[in-house]
Amino acid sequence: MENTYEDYPFKDKNWTLMRHKESKKVLAWIFNRDEHIWINLKCEAGWLDFYRQNYPSIVPAFHLNKEHWNSIILDGTIPEEVISDLIRRSYNLTKQKNKSR
């Protein structure tokens, strides 16, 4: 995604964060757990349960607020287009809003 960068802010090198360049807000938390790559992504409140109910590998976020974030377990069961859409949603939800002048 444009205007983003990888960050490794923790001593535990298992964690990679994807941040917006301008605001430094995190749009994705990427880590290895239970022999799979997991990605925590922000999601609209009305869609959190939809994804959790329809994809067993989408669960309440590990280590984050479960009312705003989901964990996506990359185990091959979630279609790539769904993963791409979830990343795009998180990008849009976390990007800095333009302020009126």
In the chain, domain spans: 4-94
Q: Which CATH number fits domain 4-94: 3.40.190.10, 3.30.930.10, 1.10.10.10, 3.90.1150.30?
A: 3.90.1150.30
What's the average model confidence in pLDDT over 9-15?
88
Residue 69 class from Cβ within 10 Å (0-12 exposed, 13-18 middle, 19+ buried)? buried
Find out whether 43 and 53 touch, Cβ atoms under 8 Å.
no
What's the average model confidence in pLDDT over 12-35?
93
What's the average model confidence in pLDDT over 84-97?
92
> Which tens digit of pLDDT belongs to each residue from 28-53?
999 999 999 999 999 998 899 999 99
pTM: 0.89
Average pLDDT value over all residues in the chain: 91
What's the average model confidence in pLDDT over 63-84?
94
Cα–Cα distance, 38 to 5 (Å, whole number): 18
